[in-house]
């Protein structure tokens, strides 16, 4: 991702080793303030390690992580004031009520004491737990616990929210609520970094994506740049009622370059190098050759396509 | 620093532990027990039993609850959120220390009025106050020590070990003053028991109220060659130990278990000197009348030095990834050999020099000079260097539990040496460190040469290991060699 003018988080040649293993290879990354940045990759790709280094929970073997210009491993407490963090597996303090739980963290984050009661009410309403204010956390359902965790993470109005697989274990409705909440937080100016190995979770609301594989950041860009077609390369779907595949193939080759194709009965999914004019020519050629077309569509590249192109591992 | 009553960590524990129902139950049970004892015995016995229960129960409660607290935070995965707050290590420790054992503190606090009744029955109030001050300080020491233990221990097994250690220490302290020595291991002045001893009668749990002329503030012990007020020594020792523990906690309480380094290397040497100075001072003060007793003290001090050498060696082991980076920097002239992330063996040497200096000073003062002790200490240092280098090599081998595995191998080695020594007795002095007795004049040189060569070989092996690049494999991907990284063009479109 180029031309980051206002990075909220910067990784500079960050590397992490565990014993003899390299969990994260030297990595440079800057994330623009105000983004929802999705970090995707299979289990073991290094996403959690990267997020934990960004929170100051894990020291990099070499390199530097800056949050708002503060190096987190030198001034952890100052940098952590800008961070809200939520991991996939965690527990709440079971012997506290939801209100007491948030009150503990509000004081621990050094929020002004007079603001704390109002802010707790505000975040409990935001995550839909206002009716559970005085309930012990051990009595909350999985979804409610996750929402309370999120309330804790946003309690001190962090500029940067780091979420590590936040939707794991949530039912579809709770996932939708989580997504809506994150979009709302983005509109309020919070930068969100969210990791997942479930692509469907991130597509649609992330503004930038980083793809990790075996400890390397394979690709990082805005969603539009990532899914845009480079040059004249296009993915076409063609389906017809009558006419043979050879005629169709010949028409494509006469119009431009056929890069790859997956043929099946009366249809093809192919990658071609065609300008818009050549695309129109192709359509005319097929009609002229008597091919009765029922579908002639250019397929937009999805994050999943990009990921599958880059990754050799299976994803959900 | 936030005041303790505003400390969020303390407030959390207070809210969680002191719910109205629990508070009422704890106070009621405490009073009920006092009433029961008073009913079956008499008031004096009841007062004595309550004071004794405070003195034994509270340190045990503080030790076991603090010994569990950080490991439970890790086990329940609340530790990460705890670490991302702005609470400083000092605030966290203060909150934990005062908050975690709150139920025990409440039980003691609610029965303090019973202890105060003893003032009405000829007990000097100053003595009583000093004993409770000593109890508080001892609990701070036990609490901070337990928190240090809790940082590195794994759940459940660790807490049992800690409870045993504290229990054994308390028992040995009580036995020490019960035997009339008043000192025991010397460290019993840190506890309130030596002072309490003068108030205890023959009957268990009964206070000897006739001993009201005893004054805690006037009791003295010999520390080194100087008589020191025992109360003052107790306070100093408690403050010193809890200070060291606080240092360890403040450096590490917000770190992952694998990143723990209790002390910096210079601090570790300082800690070794502090411990050995303390024990030498306590050893000298024992002034044994028989030669056999003097020999036992000397051997104990020697064993202590051996333990300290290995302890410092283990504390200064470097995590493999940091050792590799230091090696790269050092081999290109960008770091020093005595760096914090370098090999641990030079620090074993430095510690040996310091320990030998203290031993020499102590021997000069006590007039029990023994060159053999210094020789043996030097020899042990060579073995310690070898063993610590071996443990460091194990750490770089990606064993699942490198320290434990390395210690097992070393244990096996020493076991085999002992077996061999049955048939070839001379082998023992060549292959294992000396523990007691004199050495033949030629043996130390041969032993040093052999063990020095082995240590050198291990260092060479370790250096070769460090030259190799780290494996480009993610830890959760099963340790397979990394395939060539894909590029966009290397995948056919589907």
What CATH number does residue A146 fall under? 3.40.50.300
Is B78 close to A105, i.e. CB distance below 8 A? no
Cβ neighbours, 10 Å, residue B318: 22
The two structure tokens encoding residue A99: 């209100």
Q: Are B184 and B173 in contact (CB under 8 A)?
A: yes
Cα–Cα distance between B205 and B52 in angstroms, integer?
Answer: 7
Does one domain contain both A153 and A280?
A: no
Do A32 and A143 share a structural domain? yes
**A289 and A177 inside one domain:** no
Residue A60 lies in a domain: yes
Given this model, what pLDDT does residue B450 score?
87
Q: Which residues 158-187 in chain A show a CB within 8 A of chain B?
A: none
* Helix ranges, B367-442 (H): 371-395, 402-423, 426-431
Give the best residue of B78, B85, B481 to mutate against chain A (max A CB count within 10 A): B85
Note whether A56 contacts B483, CB cutoff 8 Å: no
Q: Would you say residue B388 has pLDDT above 90?
A: yes
Q: How many CB pairs under 8 A join A and B?
A: 136
Q: In the predicted model, what is the mean pLDDT of residues B211-232?
A: 69
User: Nearest CA to CA, how far is A257 from chain B (Å)?
Assistant: 14
Q: Which of B86, B476, B479 is closest, CB to CB, to A81?
A: B86
Tens-of-pLDDT digits for all 316 residues of chain A? 556 677 899 999 999 988 778 889 999 999 988 889 999 888 888 899 999 999 988 888 889 999 988 999 888 888 888 899 988 777 789 899 999 999 999 999 999 999 999 999 999 998 888 899 899 998 888 888 888 998 999 999 999 999 988 877 677 877 888 888 888 888 888 999 999 877 777 777 888 889 888 888 888 888 777 777 666 778 888 999 877 888 888 888 888 888 888 888 889 988 888 888 888 999 999 988 888 899 998 877 777 777 776 665 444 4
CA triplet B304, B136, B224: central angle to 5 degrees?
Answer: 35
A136 and A204 assigned to the same domain: yes
- Report whether pLDDT(B200) > 60: no
Q: How many domains does chain A have?
A: 2
Residue A315: inside a domain, yes or no? no
Q: What is the pLDDT of residues B9-31, one digit of tens each?
A: 999 999 999 999 999 999 999 99
- The verdict on a CB contact (< 8 Å) between A105 and B491 is no
Answer yes or no: do A76 and A174 share one domain: yes
Nearest to B470 among A20, A218, A269 (CB): A20
End position of a domain, from candidates A188, A209, A227: A227
Reply yes or no on whether the pLDDT at B487 is more than 80: no
| B270 pLDDT higher than 90 | yes
**What's the confidence (pLDDT) of residue B11?**
95
Report which of B161, B172, B347, B177 is spatially closest to residue B270, judged by C-alpha positions: B347
Looking at the predicted structure, is the pLDDT value of residue B216 above 70?
A: no
Domain containing residue A256: CATH number:
3.30.70.100
Asked if pLDDT for residue B366 goes beyond 60, the answer is yes
| Within a domain: A283 | yes
Task: Report long-range pairs for B12-15 (Cβ below 8 Å, ≥24 apart).
Answer: B12/A93, B12/A96, B12/A100, B12/A104, B12/B95, B12/B99, B13/B95, B13/B96, B13/B98, B13/B99, B13/B100, B13/B102, B14/B99, B14/B102, B15/A96, B15/A100
* Structural domain boundaries enclosing A283: 233-300
**Do A75 and A205 fall into the same domain?**
yes
Q: Of A109, A269, A308, which has the smallest distance from its Cβ to B86's Cβ?
A: A109
- The answer on A195 and A108 residing in a single domain is yes
Q: What is the pLDDT of residues B310-327, one digit of tens each?
A: 999 998 888 888 888 888
The pLDDT tens digits of the residues spanning B114-155 come to 888 877 777 778 878 888 999 999 999 999 999 999 988 876
Q: What is the 8-class DSSP label of residue A95? A: T
Instruction: Choose the final residue of a domain: A197, A227, A257.
Output: A227
B453 close contact with A: CB closer than 8 A: no
Region B352-381 average pLDDT:
81
| Pick from A55, A81, A312: CB nearest B486 | A312
Residue of chain A nearest B394, judged by CA positions: A19
Residues A35, A95, single domain; the answer is yes
**Owner of token pair 């190799």:** B468
Per DSSP (E only), the strands in chain A are 7-18, 21-32, 36-40, 62-67, 70-71, 83-86, 160-164, 191-196, 208-213, 216-222, 233-240, 257-264, 267-273, 293-299
The predicted pLDDT at position B471 comes to 61
Query: Quick one: A77 and A103 in the same domain?
Result: yes
The per-residue pLDDT for range B453-469, each reduced to its tens digit, is 999 999 999 888 887 76
pTM: 0.81
CA dist A48 → A51, A202, A216, B80 (Å): 5, 16, 13, 13
Among A227, A251, A279, identify where a domain stops: A227
Say whether A11 sits in a helix, a strand or coil.
strand
- Which among A57, A95, A108 is the nearest to B8, CB-wise? A108
- Inter-chain CB proximity B16 and A93 less than 8 Å: yes
Assess if residue A2 is contained within a domain.
Answer: no
Helix (H) or strand (E) holding B182: none
Share of chain B above pLDDT 90, in %: 28
- pLDDT of B62 reads 93
For residues A258 and A162, state if they share a domain: no
A14, part of any domain: yes
Q: What percent of chain B stands above pLDDT 70?
A: 79
CB within 8 Å: A85 and B80: yes
Instruction: Work out the average pLDDT over B344-353.
Output: 92
Chain A touched by B494 (CB under 8 Å): yes
Q: How far apart are CA A160 and CA A144, in angstroms?
A: 22
Q: Which residues of B touch A76 (CB under 8 A)?
A: 254
Residues on chain A touching B254 (C-beta within 8 angstroms)? 76
In a domain, A306, yes or no: no
* Contacting residues of B for A20, CB less than 8 Å apart: 320, 396, 398, 470-471
CB contact under 8 A, A57 and B84: yes
- Chain A within 8 Å of B481 (Cβ-Cβ)? no
Q: Answer yes or no: is A221 within a domain.
A: yes
Whether A143 and A53 map to the same domain: the answer is yes
Nearest residue in chain B measured CA to CA from A107 = B8
Q: Rounded CA gap, A144 and A147, in Å?
A: 5
* B82-108 average pLDDT score: 91
Predicted-complex ipTM score: 0.79
Same domain, A251 and A292: yes
Task: Grade residue B157 by pLDDT with cuts at 50, 70 and 90.
Answer: low
A9 has which bridge partners? A31, A67
| B493 lies within 8 A of chain A by CB | yes
Min Cα–Cα distance to chain B from A189, Å: 21
Let me know if residue A314 belongs to a domain.
no
Mean pLDDT to the nearest integer, B432-442 = 61
For the cut 70, the answer to whether the pLDDT of residue B203 exceeds it is no
Q: What angle do CA B277, B279, B280 make, to 5 degrees?
A: 65
Return residues 201-220 of A near B (CB < 8 Å): 213-216, 218
Contact call for B8 and A104, based on CB within 8 A: yes
Instruction: Name the residue facing A19 among B85, B259, B398 (closest C-beta).
Output: B398
Instruction: Express each pLDDT in B275-290 by its tens digit.
Output: 988 888 876 555 555 5
Is residue B202 predicted with pLDDT exceeding 50?
A: no
Which residue in the set A21, A108, A152 is minimally distant from B473, CB to CB? A21
**pLDDT given at position B175:** 60
The pLDDT score that the predictor gives to residue B144 is 95
Nearest by CB to B256, which of A58, A83, A218?
A: A58
Mean pLDDT estimate for chain B:
79
Which helix H or strand E contains B104, and what residues bound it? Answer: helix B102-116
Mutate to test the interface with B, among A14, A15, A21 (most CBs of B within 10 A): A21
**Option in B11, B474, B492 nearest A45 (CB):** B474
Please report residues of B whose CB lies closer than 8 A to that of A60. Answer: none
Q: Looking at chain B from residue 331 to 390, which residues have their Cβ under 8 Å from any Cβ of chain A?
A: none
**Does the beta-carbon distance from B494 to A269 stay under 8 Å?**
yes
Interface residue of A19, A160, A257, A311 to substitute, partner B, most B CBs within 10 Å? A19
A17 contacts: CB under 8 Å, gap ≥ 6: A23, A61, B320, B321, B324, B470
Task: Indicate yes or no: CB of B474 within 8 angstroms of CB of A23.
Answer: yes
């Amino acid at each position: 991702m180029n031309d980051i003018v206002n990075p909220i988080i910067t990784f500079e040649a960050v590397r992490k080793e565990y014993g003899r293993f390299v969990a994260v290879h030297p990595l440079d990354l800057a994330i623009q303030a105000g983004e929802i940045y999705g970090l995707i990759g299979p289990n073991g790709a290094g996403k959690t390690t990267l997020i934990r280094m960004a929170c100051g929970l894990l020291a990099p073997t070499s390199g530097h992580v800056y949050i708002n210009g503060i190096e987190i491993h030198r001034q952890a407490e100052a940098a952590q004031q800008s961070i809200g963090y939520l991991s996939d597996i965690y527990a709440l303090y079971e012997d506290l009520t939801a209100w007491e739980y948030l009150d503990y963290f509000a004081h621990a984050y050094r929020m002004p004491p007079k603001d704390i009661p109002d802010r707790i009410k505000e975040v409990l309403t935001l995550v839909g737990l206002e009716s559970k204010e005085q309930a012990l956390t051990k009595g909350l359902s999985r979804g409610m616990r996750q929402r309370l965790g999120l309330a804790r993470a946003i309690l001190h109005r962090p500029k940067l929210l780091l979420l590590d697989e936040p939707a794991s274990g949530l039912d579809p409705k709770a996932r939708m609520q989580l997504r809506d909440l994150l979009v709302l937080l983005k509109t309020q100016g919070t930068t969100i970094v969210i990791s997942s190995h479930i692509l469907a979770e991130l597509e649609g609301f992330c503004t930038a994506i980083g793809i990790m594989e075996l400890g390397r950041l394979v690709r990082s860009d805005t969603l539009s740049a990532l899914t845009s077609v480079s040059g004249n390369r296009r993915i076409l779907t063609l389906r017809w009622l009558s006419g043979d595949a050879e005629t169709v193939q010949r028409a494509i080759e006469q119009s431009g370059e056929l890069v790859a194709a997956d043929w099946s009965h009366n249809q093809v999914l192919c990658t071609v190098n065609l300008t818009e004019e050549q695309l129109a020519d192709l359509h005319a050629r097929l009609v002229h050759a008597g091919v009765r077309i029922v579908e002639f569509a250019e397929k937009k590249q999805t994050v999943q396509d990009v990921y599958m192109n880059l990754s050799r591992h299976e994803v959900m | 620093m936030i005041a303790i009553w505003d400390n969020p960590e303390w407030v959390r524990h207070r809210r969680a532990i002191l719910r109205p129902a629990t508070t009422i139950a704890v106070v009621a049970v405490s009073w009920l027990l006092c009433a029961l004892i008073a009913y079956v015995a008499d008031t004096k016995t009841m007062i004595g039993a309550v004071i004794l229960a405070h003195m034994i129960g509270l340190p045990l409660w503080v030790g076991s609850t603090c010994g569990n607290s950080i490991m439970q935070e890790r086990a329940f995965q609340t530790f990460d959120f705890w670490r991302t707050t702005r609470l400083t290590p000092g605030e966290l420790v203060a909150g934990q220390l005062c908050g975690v054992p709150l139920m025990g503190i409440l039980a003691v606090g609610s029965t303090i009025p019973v202890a105060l009744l003893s003032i009405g029955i000829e007990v000097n109030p100053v003595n009583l106050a000093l004993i409770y001050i000593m109890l508080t300080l001892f609990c701070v020491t036990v609490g901070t020590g337990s928190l240090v233990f809790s940082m590195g221990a794994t759940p459940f097994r660790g807490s049992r070990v800690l409870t045993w250690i504290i229990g054994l220490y308390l028992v040995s302290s009580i036995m020490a003053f019960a035997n009339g020595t008043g000192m025991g291991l010397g460290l019993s002045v840190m506890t309130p028991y030596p002072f309490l001893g003068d108030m205890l009668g023959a009957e268990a749990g009964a206070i000897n109220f006739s001993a009201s002329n005893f004054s805690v503030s006037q009791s003295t012990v010999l520390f080194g060659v100087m008589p020191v007020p025992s109360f003052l020594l107790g306070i100093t020792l408690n403050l010193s130990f809890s200070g060291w523990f606080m240092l360890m906690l403040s450096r590490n309480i917000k770190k992952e278990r694998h990143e723990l380094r209790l002390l910096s290397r210079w601090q570790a040497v300082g800690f070794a000197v502090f411990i050995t100075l303390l024990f030498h001072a306590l050893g000298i003060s024992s002034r044994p009348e028989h030669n056999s007793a003097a020999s036992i003290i000397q051997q104990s001090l020697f064993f202590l030095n051996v333990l300290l050498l290995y302890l410092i060696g283990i504390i200064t082991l470097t995590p493999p990834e940091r050792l590799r980076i230091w090696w790269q920097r050092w081999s290109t002239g960008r770091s020093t050999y005595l760096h914090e992330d370098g090999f641990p063996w030079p620090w074993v040497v430095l510690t040996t020099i310091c320990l030998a200096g203290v031993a020499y000073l102590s021997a000069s003062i006590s007039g029990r000079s023994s060159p053999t002790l210094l020789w043996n200490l030097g020899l042990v240092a060579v073995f310690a260097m070898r063993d610590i280098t071996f443990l460091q090599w194990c750490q770089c081998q990606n064993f699942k539990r490198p320290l434990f595995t390395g210690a097992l191998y070393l244990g096996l080695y020493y076991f085999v040496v002992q077996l061999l020594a049955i048939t070839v007795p001379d082998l023992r002095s060549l292959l294992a460190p000396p523990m007691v007795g004199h050495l033949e004049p030629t043996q130390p040189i041969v032993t040093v040469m052999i063990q020095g060569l082995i240590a050198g070989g291990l260092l060479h092996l370790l250096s070769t290991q460090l030259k190799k690049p780290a494996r480009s494999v993610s830890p959760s991907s099963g340790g397979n060699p990394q395939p060539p990284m894909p590029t966009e063009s290397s995948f056919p479109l589907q």
